[in-house]
Amino acid sequence: MTHDFTTPYAEGPPLRTTAPFTARTSPDGREVVVEGCCPRCQGTTASPFPVGLPGSGGTKGILSRLVGRSPGADPARDVLATEVFFCECGYAHPQQPTDVPFVGCGASWRVLVPPPGGHGA
């Protein structure tokens, strides 16, 4: 898949994707970075999500709802399975507003994570 730069910017209800997104916890355990390819424009996107950071908001206002999240046994998986992700491919797609919180194609999506314990599937 190659990044489709001609995809016009558009926001809408979150898509659902089974694309292989990876979630990794930062070395200090305070952030989960989710990386993958946008299901709409196929651009590479990486979104940091703060975990277990009471009283400290993210740099992006839209993430402030995450403040106070208590880290679970596997915060990376938790973030991957529950959060809505936004395209942050970094490319100024056609018709992109100037004040968008995430520079990308405007897509948002949820990742359908297989249930735990599904070895060999």
Q: Is 9 in the site for Zn ion (CB under 5 A)?
A: no
Stretch that binds Zn ion, among 20-28, 58-66, 73-81, 101-109 (CB under 5 A): 101-109
Report the residue count for the chain: 121
Stretch that binds Zn ion, among 15-23, 62-70, 78-86, 102-110 (CB under 5 A): 102-110
For the chain, what is the largest distance between any 2 Cα atoms, rounded to a whole number of angstroms?
Answer: 46
DSSP string, 6-75: TPPP---SPEEE----EEEE-TTSSEEEEEEE-TTT--EEEEEEE-S-TT---SSGGGGGGTTPPP-SSH
Comparing CB distances to Zn ion, the nearer of 32 and 105 is: 105
Q: Least Å distance between CB 5 and Zn ion? A: 7
Report the amino acid identity of residue 49: F
Out of 32, 51, 89, 111, the only residue in the binding site for Zn ion (CB under 5 A) is 89
What's the Rg (C-alpha) of the chain?
Answer: 15
Binding string, residues 20-49; x marks residues near Zn ion by CB under 5 A: ------------------x-xx-x------
Q: Is 107 in the site for Zn ion (CB under 5 A)?
A: yes
Q: Which two tokens stand for residue 78?
A: 């938790």
Out of 9, 21, 49, 91, the only residue in the binding site for Zn ion (CB under 5 A) is 91
Alpha helix ranges (H) inside 1-121: 75-82
Q: Residues interacting with Zn ion, by CB under 5 A?
A: 38, 40-41, 43, 87, 89, 91, 104-105, 107
